[in-house]
Structure 1
Amino acid sequence: MSSDPVRAARWAVAACFFVNGLIVGSWVPQVPLLAQRFGLGETALGLIILVLGIGAVTVMPLCGWLVGRTSSRLVVRVSALLSAFALPLIAFAPNLPLAVPAVALFGAFVGGMDVAMNSNAVVVERRLGSAIMSSSHGFWSLGGFVGAGVGGRIAEALGSQGHALVVLAVVLAILAVALPRLIEERRALPEASSLAPRAVRFPRKPGIYVIGILSLLCMAPEGAVLDWTALYLRQEMGASLATASLAFTFFSGTMALVRFLGDSVRNHLGAVRTVRVSGIVAAVGLLAAGLSTHPMGAIIAFALAGLGIANMVPIIFSAAGNQPDVPASIGMSVATTIGYSGILVAPSLIGFVAERSGFAPVYIFFALVMLVVVLLSHRLSAADRIAVQPSPDMPL
C-alpha cells in the first residue's frame, strides 16, 4: 500500500527520528556546561551519564510492552512530547540532587521515544512495502549533527538554559507537524493458540553470545564519542564550547551519510566485507583522535570514525536475528541486551579512566577494539540471509 497518508506517515516518522537525534545531539554541549555548573570531575560526570543510561534501559522494555498493548503511534506521541521537555529539566535544575533525576528522566523519555518510533517505522515499512529503516536512522544521525553543531554555538551564546529553550521551541514546532501524520498498526484478532504462554529459553549455541559481545564492542565507542568528545576537546585541547561540539557534529554527519547509503553499500560488498572495511576505517579514525594534539585534527578523526561505525551495529543485529536454529526474537534479545549493557556501563568506566590518564588512551583503546571486531567479522555472515537489515534500536 502506498497511499498519500502512508507516504506522509513515512516522513512523519522520519521527522521523529530527526527530533530524537536533535535532542540527543543537543545533550553534547550540555555535558561540559553541567560539569562546569556543579564542579564535576570525570568520574562524577561518568556516574551521571550512567544514570542517563539506567533511565533509558529501564524504560525501553516498558515502552515496548506499551506499544504491544496500545499502539506505536500513541507511545511515540506521548514520549516525544515528554522528550521535548527533557533538556530544559536538566538545564534549569538548580542543584545537583535535582539535576541527577532530571538526567535519568532525559534518558527515560528519549529512550522510550527511541523504541516507539522504531516500532512505528516498521509499521510504515509494511504499509509501504519497502524498507525505510536505514534512512530513518540516517535522519537520526542528521538530527544529532544539527543538535551538536548548531547547539554548541547557541549554548556558547545563550548559556545552558537559553540553549535548552531554543531546542524546546524547535522540537515542538517539528512535532506539531509530524505527530498528527503518524499511522497506527492494523491489529488482527489473535488466535486462541497464540494466547498460550510460552516458555522463554536462552539459546545454547555460543555463537549468538559472540555476536552479542560484538554488538557491545561496537556500541560502546559510539557512546564514548557522544558523551565525552566535547569534554575531551575542551579540557585537553583548549577548544571553545562551539568547537568542542563539532567532534560529535561531524561524527553524526558522516554517520548520517553512510546510513543513507548503507543498504546499497552492504548489498554490493556483503555483510562481512562491509564490517571489515568499516572496522578498519573506524579503528584508524579513533586512533587518530587519540593521538591528535589539535582540536581540528581530532574533529576530522572523529568524522572518519563515524564513517566506519555507522553500519556496523545494524549488520551485527541483522546477523543476530538470522542465526540458524535460533528464533529471531531470541537472537535479537541476546544481542540488544548485551549491547546496551555496554552503553550502560562504559560511560562511568571511561570517566574513571579519563580522570587518571586523560581521554586519549580511551580512544586509542577503542581503536584496538574495532580491530577485534574485524577479526571476528566472519561470525556475521548470517546477516546476508535477508535483504533488509533490522534497526539497531528495534524493540523486542
Structure 2
Amino acid sequence: MSPSLSRRASAWPARRIAVSLAFLVNGFILGNWTPQIPLLADRLSLSEGRLGLLILVFGVGAVAAMPLVGAATARLGSRVPTLALQALLAFALPLLVLAPTPWTAAAAILFFGMTMGGMDVAMNANAVATERTLPSAMMSSCHGFWSIGGVLGATLGGPLIVALGSLGQATMVCLVMLAALWPIGRFMMDDRESPAETEAKAASAQGGGASATVPKGSGRLIAVALGVCALFSMVPEGAAIDWSAIYLRRDLGADTTTSGLAFAAFSATMALFRFLGDVIRDRLGAVRTIRLSLGFAMAGLVLVSLANGLALALLGFAILGIGLSNLVPIAFSAAGNLEGMKPGIAISIATSIGYSGILIAPSAIGFFAEHFGFSPVFLGLCVCLLVVFALSGLMHGADRRQVAPVAEAREKVAA
C-alpha cells in the first residue's frame, strides 16, 4: 500500500466509517420528515400554533430520553444504545404517517423524539470515543454526514411522497434504516470500559491523576454552560428544520416537490462546512471558528427574513447552514473532552440543555408566525446567536486533544 493510501486508511478506519453512517441515517430520517410536516398539518387541519404544539412533543421526548441514554452509555458503552435506538427510530415515521388524530400523532411524535434524541446522545458519545483513537479531529465530519443524510432525505422525500404516497415514502425510509444496522453494528467501536480500565482510572484519581485535578461540580458547570451554547445554536437550526417547508409553501408559494429545498440548501452547505470544520478549527482554534461562523449565521437569517422569492430564501438558508455548521459539533466536542467526566454523561448534559430549545422554539415560532409572519421571526433569531457569541470563550476545550492508542479501540467485528 502506498504511503498516501496508508495515511487515508489510518484516518478512516472501519470504526469511524460506522459511526459516520449512524449520523447519516439519523439525518436521513429527519430530512424525510420535513416534507411530511405540511402534509400532516393539512391532513389533521392544524394551524401554525397547533402544529407548533405538536412539534413541541418531539422536543419533550428528545429531552426526556437524553439523560437516560447518557446514563446507559456510562454503564453499557455507546454502541449498544446506538443500535437499539436506531432500530426503534426506523418505525417512527410510519407510525406518524398512520396517526389518524392529533392525539395519536402526538404519541407517535413523542416516540419519534425519544428515539431520535436518545440516538443523538449515544452516537455523539461513540464519535468522541472514536476521535480519541485517531490522530486528527473528526467530530465536525460526523455531523457533516448527518447533514448529508438531511440533504438526501429532504431532496428525495418530496418526490418519493409524490411517487409512492406518504406511507410508501415512510416505509422506504424504515427499510433503509433497518438495512444500515448491519454495517454499523459490525464495525462500530465498542467503548465499554473493562474492569481493569475502571480500576486504573479510580487508582489514578486517588493518586492525584489528571481527572482528579478538575472538581466534579466544576466539570458539570462547564457542561451546562456548553449546553446553553448548544441551545441557542439549535433554536435557529430547529427553525430551519421544522418551519422552512411551511415558510416556502405558505409565504412564498412553493409546492410539495420544492417545499423541502430550503432544508436541502441549508443542509448542503452545513454538510460541506462540517467536513471543512475540523481543518478550520485546527487552523483558527475553536473560539475564532465559532465567532466567524456566527457572523455568517446572522447574515443568513437576515437574508431569509427579507426574501421576496424562492431564490433569495434558498440563498439565505444556504448561508445560514454555513454559519451554524460547526457551532454544535464544537460545543459537543468541548463537552465530550471535559476532564473527569465520561463523554456520554457530559454530552447528555449538553444535548439535554441544547435540545430543550426544541421545547421552546416550535410553539413560540408557531405562535409569532401565526400573528406576525415568518420574516420577523427569522430576523429575531439573531438574538440567540448573540448569546452564543457572548459565551464563545468556553469553546476552547474543543481544541484539547486526548488521543488514545489505536490498539485500545476494540472495534466490534462480527464473527
TM interval, shorter chain, is 0.7 to 0.9
For the structure 1 residues 202 and 136, does the alpha-carbon distance in structure 2 shift closer, same or farther, using more than 3 Å as the test?
Answer: same
**1:143 match:** 149
**1:108 match:** 114
**1:58 match:** 64
Determine the C-alpha separation between the residues in 1 that align with 2:218 and 2:384: 26
Q: Is the 8 A contact 1:29 1:151 kept in 2?
A: yes
Q: Is the 8 A contact 1:9 1:183 kept in 2?
A: yes
* 210-219 or 104-113: bigger deviation: 210-219
For the structure 1 residues 70 and 360, does the alpha-carbon distance in structure 2 shift closer, same or farther, using more than 3 Å as the test?
Answer: same
**2:14 match:** 8
**1:47 match:** 53
* 341-350 or 100-109: bigger deviation: 341-350
**1:393 match:** none
Q: Is the 8 A contact 2:245 2:262 kept in 1?
A: yes
Instruction: Report matched runs for 1:33-182 at 5 Å.
Output: 33-128=39-134, 130-182=136-188
SS in 2 for 1:106: helix
**2:236 match:** 221
Determine the C-alpha separation between the residues in 2 that align with 1:208 and 1:117: 18
Q: Is the 8 A contact 2:140 2:278 kept in 1?
A: yes
For the structure 1 residues 332 and 86, does the alpha-carbon distance in structure 2 shift closer, same or farther, using more than 3 Å as the test?
Answer: closer
* 330-339 or 54-63: bigger deviation: 330-339
Q: Is the 8 A contact 1:131 1:388 kept in 2?
A: no
SS in 1 for 2:385: helix
Q: Is the 8 A contact 2:226 2:395 kept in 1?
A: no
Q: Which residue of the other structure, out of 191, 194, 209, is the alignment partner of 2:199?
A: 191
Code of the aligned partner of 1:60: M
Code of the aligned partner of 1:63: V
**1:266 match:** 281
**2:400 match:** 386
Deviations 1:256-298 (A, max 9, x none): 1111110111222233322222111111111110110112221
Q: Is the 8 A contact 2:223 2:346 kept in 1?
A: yes
SS in 2 for 1:241: coil
Instruction: List runs of 5+ in structure 2 lacking aligned partners.
Output: 1-6, 206-211, 404-415
Matched, 1:246 2:261: yes
Matched, 1:354 2:390: no
Aligned-pair distance for 1:299? Answer: 1.2
For the structure 1 residues 174 and 339, does the alpha-carbon distance in structure 2 shift closer, same or farther, using more than 3 Å as the test?
Answer: closer
For the structure 1 residues 150 and 223, does the alpha-carbon distance in structure 2 shift closer, same or farther, using more than 3 Å as the test?
Answer: same
Aligned-pair distance for 1:110? Answer: 1.5
Code of the aligned partner of 2:144: G
Normalising by structure 1, report the TM-score. 0.86
Q: Is the 8 A contact 1:226 1:248 kept in 2?
A: yes
Code of the aligned partner of 1:340: Y
Code of the aligned partner of 1:191: E
SS in 2 for 1:244: coil
Aligned-pair distance for 1:237? Answer: 1.0
CA RMSD of aligned residues (A): 3.2
SS in 2 for 1:191: helix
Determine the C-alpha separation between the residues in 1 that align with 2:351 and 2:260: 28
Deviations 1:87-130 (A, max 9, x none): 10101112222111000001111112212222222343344454
Determine the C-alpha separation between the residues in 1 that align with 2:184 and 2:398: 34
Determine the C-alpha separation between the residues in 2 that align with 1:59 and 1:156: 33
Determine the C-alpha separation between the residues in 1 that align with 2:130 and 2:248: 40
* 168-177 or 246-255: bigger deviation: 168-177
Q: Is the 8 A contact 2:78 2:190 kept in 1?
A: yes
Instruction: Report matched runs for 1:295-374 at 5 Å.
Output: 295-318=310-333, 335-374=350-389
SS in 1 for 2:84: helix
Determine the C-alpha separation between the residues in 1 that align with 2:78 and 2:348: 19
SS in 1 for 2:254: coil
Aligned-pair distance for 1:193? Answer: 9.3
Determine the C-alpha separation between the residues in 1 that align with 2:125 and 2:283: 28
Instruction: Report matched runs for 1:278-293 at 5 Å.
Output: 278-293=293-308
- Identity level (%): 47
For the structure 1 residues 156 and 221, does the alpha-carbon distance in structure 2 shift closer, same or farther, using more than 3 Å as the test?
Answer: same
Matched, 1:21 2:27: yes
SS in 2 for 1:238: coil
